[in-house]
């Protein structure tokens, strides 16, 4: 099958039939001036600093007729007049010293606002569809930059698709007698995809399908494609969850050969294996996990020492004992890089025989573990720590709810151990905040799902002491492992390692946060040490609790932060205020943790440092896959939110503005944290401008301002489950639609006033 690129590059030199917005050149009825302009641009690209005249250009681009040659001469003259060429002498031209041809990444949008982000400066060029060569989102393209015009955004024209991004589209099939179409769910494609009947793979009308575009001729409105897989009936819960995974390029089925390879693995805890490890099966050990968890990859052990101190063990499933490098299991895990947690299911990184069986630290079973063991005093000071391979045996499996009840009542299995661990964890946490760690504590939305996968209720997952107990000891273990490698004792140099790093906040966003917080009477430092800045953020987050601006300021604080990533270049973890940090504690669900386990084993045995570039490439892939998994998780939550709210059309809710864009306001409902859009076209009584710096939409005439964090009242207006779109209608303070009081309103500065007035042409005034 020919690639999209080769198909379109071949057509690039083929005269188009006739363009609707251009006239054909005389004597050559199929060759338009647009075609000539494109060929001329391609010729100029390769001339560098050479001069040329219209005869040379006409000969090079095969413009043979007198009319075509005259057209070439006219186009060159126009380009010189527009500043796109320099006229060296009468009829002699050269390209300007600054190149007007750049490489970039094509960004396609279903709303038609295509663009190219150039390399390396990151400038955004608008690209009209007629100038796109039908490039797809993510394609690397070569673009001619149009002559700059004052007051007009820079534009470009794609002249070559240099590198195609492998991508697929999800949608619903409609099968006709001679062909089929895929109505896509994509925000990156506005058209349907035409599919020949012989490329349907048995798909029928109403099926959700995964489709690849095979060609898109420049003179065709719609691309042609082929079905890769049929996911199932549209609307079926499993089908829709698989569609979300496929949308982000994530696997939704386990290859049978990988699953079969996993099933051949035996736990293999032989006397010889035990003898090579520290045996901790006699020490009190337990797991604390979510109630629906099956992959228990961490456990805590606890015992009091003769010297009055405590031994706390953080025991992690020794996955790499079973999954060896360059095996089929390892290659699959490395490619996936992470387990994906959707609303109603987990798509595991490792086959269930390993993730929920052999490696899972289930109670009353001997398990192989990799451990950090700490000697601590009553003030949670670590006097000694060791990293070693162990054999453990969990005595009890706790849910977070069970452990929380013990913390609150003081009674239950292993109450003494849990209470002391909780006390130590609180001290560790207090010390971490004193050192400048940022404290973000936001409730997570979860759904109760019926047997058909339909959401019937919403609840909030809050982080309580039991959750924080586990979190603190996992942080301590991760920090200890990273410090062991990154800051070795004596004169030894650090070896190549996987760090989890978090960069400083964006200075511009931090400055915006500081200025806006000041308007509410809070002080956030925008300069100084990370400890000072983070302490000021924590103080603001604590002081704003329960106030109307809490959501606004906490949201801004989160958005000011960088994203954490994996890398071999350690810059520390800003949010945690750790100089050294890694991920060691979840190898069942994260491939970087497996990488860390292997490196630790190598370095504990005195092995040499590994190849840094290869390690960095793996880190980059893991970071990218982590982001895709997070996007898929959010998409699954959004799908269930829209599905849930479809049962509540017309109902009225209170909420807060959680996002502000040029196309409208996103509102998060107080009752269930579902988020929907109030389109800017539906905002009352004015034309609204987007104030990006102050996270606001501002009425041009009335001065009415809708700002991130504002309290509003809305009605559920529209639910499009297929597109995961939820629209709200804004209500006034009394809960009435603005339209109901149209005749009574005459503008003003209050949000409850104003009307949906129309311009002379009768169109609603809005900014799209």
pLDDT at position 147 is: 61
pLDDT at position 395 is: 98
Closest by CA position to 574, among listed 438, 474, 472: 438
pLDDT at position 109 is: 85
Rounded to whole angstroms, the maximal C-alpha distance in the chain is 102
Closest by CA position to 285, among listed 276, 296, 271, 270: 296
pLDDT at position 317 is: 98
Neighbour count for residue 149 (Cβ, 10 Å): 11
Phi, psi of 427 (to 5 degrees): -70, -45
Closest by CA position to 295, among listed 370, 363, 359, 371: 359
For the stretch 55-88, pLDDT in tens is 899 888 888 888 888 888 888 888 888 777 888 7
DSSP assigned state of 305: -
Cβ neighbours of residue 223 closer than 8 Å, sequence gap 6 or more = 134, 191, 193, 194, 213, 214, 215, 216
How many helices and strands (H and E) does the chain possess? 17, 34
> Percentage helix, strand, coil, to 5, in the chain?
30, 25, 40
pLDDT at position 4 is: 60
Cβ neighbours of residue 331 closer than 8 Å, sequence gap 6 or more = none
Cβ atoms of 200 and 738 within 8 Å: the answer is no
pLDDT at position 664 is: 93
Cβ neighbours of residue 604 closer than 8 Å, sequence gap 6 or more = 387, 388
pLDDT at position 151 is: 56
Q: Which residues of the chain have pLDDT under 70?
A: 1-31, 96-99, 147-152, 442-443, 548, 551, 739-768
What is 23-81 written as a DSSP string?
PBPTT-TT-BHHHHHHHHHHHHHTTTT--EEHHHHHHHTT--SHHHHHHHHHHHHHHHH
pLDDT at position 6 is: 40
pLDDT at position 272 is: 96
Q: Crossing angle, helix 612-645 and helix 591-604, to 10 degrees?
A: 150
CA distances for 377 relative to 311, 385, 476, 484, angstroms? 9, 13, 15, 21
Give Rg (Cα) of the chain.
31
12 burial class (0-12, 13-18, 19+ CB within 10 angstroms)? middle
DSSP assigned state of 681: G
Q: How far apart are CA 661 and CA 367, in angstroms?
A: 51
pLDDT at position 459 is: 86
Cis peptide before 623 (omega within 30 of 0): no
């Amino acid at each position: 099958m020919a690639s999209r690129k080769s198909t379109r590059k071949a057509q690039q030199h083929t005269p188009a039939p006739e363009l609707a917005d251009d006239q054909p050149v005389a004597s050559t009825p199929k060759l338009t001036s647009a075609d000539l302009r494109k060929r001329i641009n391609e010729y100029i690209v390769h001339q560098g600093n050479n001069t040329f005249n219209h005869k040379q250009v006409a000969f090079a681009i095969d413009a043979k007729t007198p009319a075509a040659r005259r057209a070439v001469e006219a186009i060159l003259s126009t380009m010189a007049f527009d500043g796109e060429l320099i006229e060296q002498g009468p009829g002699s031209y050269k390209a300007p010293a600054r190149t007007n041809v750049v490489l970039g990444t094509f960004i396609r949008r279903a709303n038609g606002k295509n663009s190219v982000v150039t390399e390396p400066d990151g400038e955004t060029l608008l690209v009209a569809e007629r100038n796109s060569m039908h490039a797809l989102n993510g394609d690397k393209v070569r673009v001619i930059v149009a002559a700059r015009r004052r007051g007009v955004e820079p534009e470009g024209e794609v002249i070559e698709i240099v590198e195609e991004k492998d991508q697929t589209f999800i949608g619903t099939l409609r099968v006709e007698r001679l062909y089929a179409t895929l109505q896509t769910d994509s925000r990156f494609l506005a058209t349907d995809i035409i599919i020949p009947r012989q490329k349907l793979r048995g798909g029928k009308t109403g099926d959700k399908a995964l489709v690849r575009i095979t060609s898109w001729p420049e003179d065709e409105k719609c691309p042609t494609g082929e079905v890769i897989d049929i996911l199932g009936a549209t609307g079926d819960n499993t089908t829709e969850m698989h569609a979300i995974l496929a949308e982000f390029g994530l696997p939704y089925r386990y290859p049978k050969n990988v699953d079969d390879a996993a099933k051949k693995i035996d736990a293999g805890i032989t006397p010889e294996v035990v003898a090579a490890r520290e045996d901790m099966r006699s020490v009190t050990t337990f797991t604390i996990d979510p109630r629906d968890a099956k992959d228990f990859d961490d456990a805590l052990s606890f015992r009091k020492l003769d010297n009055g101190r405590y031994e706390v063990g953080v025991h992690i499933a020794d996955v790499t004992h079973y999954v060896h490098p360059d095996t089929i299991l390892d290659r699959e895990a490395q490619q996936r890089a992470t387990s994906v947690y959707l609303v109603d299911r987990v798509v595991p990184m490792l086959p269930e025989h390993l993730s929920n069986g052999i490696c899972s630290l289930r109670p009353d079973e001997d398990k192989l573990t990799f451990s950090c063991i700490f000697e601590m005093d009553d003030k949670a000071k670590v006097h000694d720590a060791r990293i070693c391979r162990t054999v453990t045996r969990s005595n009890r499996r706790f849910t977070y709810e069970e452990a929380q009840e013990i913390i609150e009542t003081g009674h239950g299995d292993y109450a003494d151990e849990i209470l002391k661990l909780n006390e130590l964890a609180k001290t560790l946490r207090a010390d971490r905040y004193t050192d400048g760690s940022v404290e973000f504590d936001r409730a997570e939305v979860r759904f109760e799902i019926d047997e058909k996968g339909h959401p019937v209720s919403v609840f909030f997952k809050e982080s309580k002491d039991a959750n924080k107990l586990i979190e603190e000891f996992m942080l301590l273990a991760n920090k200890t492992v990273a410090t062991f490698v990154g800051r070795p004792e004596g004169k030894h140099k650090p070896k190549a390692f996987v760090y989890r790093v978090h960069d400083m906040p964006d200075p511009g966003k931090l400055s915006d946060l500081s200025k806006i917080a000041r308007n509410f009477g809070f002080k956030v430092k925008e300069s100084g040490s990370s400890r000072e800045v983070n302490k000021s953020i924590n103080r603001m987050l604590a002081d704003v609790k329960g106030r109307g601006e809490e959501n606004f300021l906490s949201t801004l604080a989160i958005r000011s932060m960088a994203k954490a990533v994996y890398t071999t270049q350690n810059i520390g973890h800003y949010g945690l205020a750790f100089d050294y940090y890694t991920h060691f504690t979840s190898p069942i669900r994260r491939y970087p943790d497996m990488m860390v386990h292997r490196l630790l084993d190598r370095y504990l045995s005195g092995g040499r440092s590994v190849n840094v570039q290869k390690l960095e490439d793996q880190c980059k892939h893991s970071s990218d896959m982590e982001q895709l998994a997070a996007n898929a998780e959010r998409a699954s939550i959004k799908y269930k939110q829209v599905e849930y709210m479809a049962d509540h059309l017309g109902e009225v809710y209170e909420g807060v503005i959680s996002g502000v864009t040029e196309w409208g306001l996103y509102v998060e409902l107080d009752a269930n944290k579902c988020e929907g859009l109030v389109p800017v076209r539906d905002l009352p009584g004015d034309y609204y401008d987007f104030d990006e710096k102050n996270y606001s939409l501002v009425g041009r005439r009335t001065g009415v301002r809708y700002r991130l964090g504002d309290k509003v009242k809305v009605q559920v207006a529209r639910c499009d489950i297929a597109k995961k779109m939820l629209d709200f209608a804004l209500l006034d303070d009394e809960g009435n639609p603005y339209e109901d009081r149209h005749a009574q309103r005459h503008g003003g500065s209050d949000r409850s006033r104003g009307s949906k007035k129309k311009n002379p042409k009768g169109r609603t005034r809005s900014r799209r």
